[in-house]
Structure 1
């Protein structure tokens, strides 16, 4: 297989994985941002911070903040003041049920898939993805947007 063919296959797989998560969110009647919020709360538990969601989901603070405000207005969660400007995020009891029935099964499926792969494959998968990302970041660090003329 040529480098170009490998590149196309990798991009297709990357896009397929993104589409899978998008479809999972849609099937649960959640926006991607709502899924990120429920998912992070599923992993880290009630009381996590907005920055925790941004860090886990690699999503902008503005995007998550907008989703949090919308969900708070709809009564899905509430925010409690923390240190400085920090706000801790808590789900309402009804939304804990949504999280348990809609998001936790996805989280558990991911764990099951990784467990099926076994330790050597898990380690190899993570190591190779980390290497690819690191090398890509190095190779593209100096790229700048060309101004349209």
Structure 2
């Protein structure tokens, strides 16, 4: 019976972790709503903002978890509004770049989100941040291996 208790504790922990992850994702969605942009537009702006106005399109795809089609729609919307433009990079690759108008827009949107994140973490000491990052990476790597086995 003791083994069942450990399994139940693991199950309960996984449920708590998944719920917390979903709550955090929901907070990002709430931020997008408050900033007046879609989640995909918010992510494109955020990635270009934190990368000093330029970001490889591949990195946006890879980091977002959002479908390529949805990211491409967000990019077309931002291009049509003169917020971003695409530059060719090493053959087929492209870089998403903020225009001057886009830099102002990113300051009104992505910068606010970044500052909220920064404020949320500013009270963490170096050791807490190190532990959090180490555990997140460990979980990601282990989970990735399990997903590859599916």
TM-score, normalised by the number of residues in structure 1 = 0.82
Residue equivalent to 1:37 = 44
Query: Structure 1 pair 74/10, CA: closer, same or farther in 2 (3 Å)?
Result: same
Select which of 124, 128, 138 maps to 1:121: 128
Q: CA deviation digits over 1:90-120, x for unaligned, max 9? A: 3232332221122112112212322311111
Whole-angstrom distance in 1 between the partners of 2:149 and 2:90: 37
Contact 1:50/1:61 (8 A) holds in 2? no
Gaps of 5+ in 2: 1-7
**How far 1:28 moved relative to its partner?**
0.5
Q: Does 1:71 align with 2:70?
A: no
RMSD between superposed Cα atoms in Å:
2.0
Whole-angstrom distance in 2 between the partners of 1:61 and 1:45: 22
Select which of 108, 111, 115 maps to 2:115: 108
TM-score, normalised by the number of residues in structure 2 = 0.82
Query: Structure 1 pair 91/139, CA: closer, same or farther in 2 (3 Å)?
Result: closer
